[in-house]
């Protein structure tokens, strides 16, 4: 394994976290609650796709 691979992955995660932090995330108006029903298989996943609206944060 490349020695700098962990450093690179940490930088990608930090960049993604900063990008997600600078937005406010809201559910669409027509969706009142989030359906957390799970679909079984080799890995567990949600039956419904997660749809969010991003709004630029005001801070």
- The pTM (predicted TM-score) of the whole model is 0.52
More confident residue, 59 or 53: 53
Residue 44 has pLDDT above 80, yes or no: no
Largest Cα span, the chain: 48
Q: Parse the chain into domains and list their residue ranges.
A: 5-56
Give 20-42 as a DSSP string.
HHTEEEE--TT--S----EE-SS
**In the structure, what pLDDT confidence band is assigned to residue 1 with cuts at 50, 70 and 90?**
confident
Average pLDDT, the chain: 83
Residues 6+ apart with CB under 8 A from 23: 54, 55, 56, 57
């Amino acid at each position: 394994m490349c020695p700098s691979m962990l450093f690179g992955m940490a930088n990608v995660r930090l960049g993604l976290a900063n990008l997600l932090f600078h937005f406010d995330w809201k559910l669409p108006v027509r969706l009142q609650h989030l359906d957390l029903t799970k679909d079984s298989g080799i890995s567990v996943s949600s039956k419904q796709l997660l749809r969010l609206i991003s709004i630029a944060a005001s801070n």
